[in-house]
C-alpha cells in the first residue's frame, strides 16, 4: 500500500510541474491527503497508540454491510428458485422435500474430528457446486434425470436457506466463523 501511495505521490509531483502520466492531466486525489486519512483511521482503530486496542467487529475474511445483505438476498433468491423448480420437477412430493431438506447438515458431524475437518465437510455439503454437479449429472444421464434434478433442487434449497439465515461457508477456526460473518447473538443480520 505504501509503495502504491509513494508511486502516486511521485505522479502527483510530476503532474504539478507538467510531467505527469499524461502531461497536464490531474492524476487523481492527492495521495498525501489519502495517507493522512489512513493515518487518522489507523489512529482511531488504536493501531498507532498501543494503549487503545481496537476491538474487531467483523472476522477477517467475512463480508459486511451491503455486500453481506446482497449475499443473504442471493440465498433467498436461490431458495425461491429451488422451491419453484422442485414444484415443477416433483409435483406433490413435499414429504420427500421435507425429509431431505436438512440432510446436508449431517456434514456437521465432521466437527467431531475437529474444526478444520468439520469446516471442510460442511463446506463440501453447503456449496452450490455439489447440487449443480448433481443437476449436470441429470443431463449426462437422461434416464436418471427425473430422480437427480429434484434432489439437486432440494439441496439447492437447503444452501439458499442457510445463506438467507446467515450460515455461510465455514473457516477452520470454528463453526461460528463464516464468510457471512460471525454467528451468534451479536449477528447484526
Distance in angstroms (rounded) separating the CA atoms of residues 136 and 144: 11
179 close to 168: Cβ distance less than 8 angstroms: yes
Q: Count Cβ atoms below 10 Å from residue 113 Cβ, excluding itself.
A: 11
- pLDDT-derived band of residue 181, with 50, 70 and 90 as boundaries? confident
**Confidence (pLDDT) at 184:** 57
Least confident of 33-42, 105-114, 116-125: 33-42
Mean pLDDT of the chain: 77
Question: How do residues 70-84 score in pLDDT, each as one tens digit?
Answer: 988 999 999 999 999
Torsion of CA 151, 153, 155, 159, to 10 degrees: 180
21 close to 27: Cβ distance less than 8 angstroms: yes
- pLDDT-derived band of residue 137, with 50, 70 and 90 as boundaries? very high
**Confidence (pLDDT) at 2:** 46
Packing angle of the helix pair 65-89, 145-165 (nearest 10 deg): 150
Residue 74: its H or E element:
helix 65-89
pTM of the model: 0.66
Q: What are phi and psi of 58, to 5 degrees?
A: -135, 140
Amino acid at each position: 500500500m505504501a509503495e502504491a501511495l509513494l508511486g502516486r505521490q511521485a505522479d502527483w509531483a510530476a503532474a504539478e510541474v507538467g510531467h505527469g502520466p499524461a502531461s497536464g492531466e490531474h492524476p487523481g486525489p492527492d495521495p498525501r491527503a489519502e495517507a493522512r486519512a489512513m493515518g487518522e483511521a489507523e489512529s482511531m482503530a488504536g493501531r498507532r497508540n498501543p494503549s487503545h486496542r481496537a476491538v474487531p467487529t467483523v472476522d477477517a475474511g467475512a463480508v459486511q454491510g451491503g455486500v453481506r445483505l446482497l449475499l443473504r438476498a442471493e440465498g433467498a433468491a436461490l431458495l425461491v428458485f429451488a422451491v419453484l423448480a422442485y414444484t415443477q420437477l416433483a409435483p406433490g412430493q413435499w414429504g420427500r422435500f421435507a425429509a431431505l431438506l436438512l440432510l446436508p447438515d449431517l456434514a456437521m458431524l465432521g466437527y467431531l474430528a475437529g474444526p478444520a475437518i468439520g469446516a471442510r465437510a460442511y463446506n463440501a455439503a453447503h456449496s452450490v457446486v455439489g447440487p449443480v454437479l448433481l443437476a449436470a449429472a441429470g443431463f449426462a444421464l437422461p434416464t436418471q434425470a427425473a430422480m437427480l434434478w429434484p434432489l439437486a433442487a432440494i439441496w439447492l434449497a437447503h444452501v439458499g436457506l442457510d445463506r438467507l439465515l446467515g450460515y455461510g461457508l465455514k473457516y477452520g477456526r470454528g463453526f461460528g466463523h463464516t464468510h457471512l460473518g460471525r454467528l451468534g447473538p451479536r449477528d447484526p443480520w
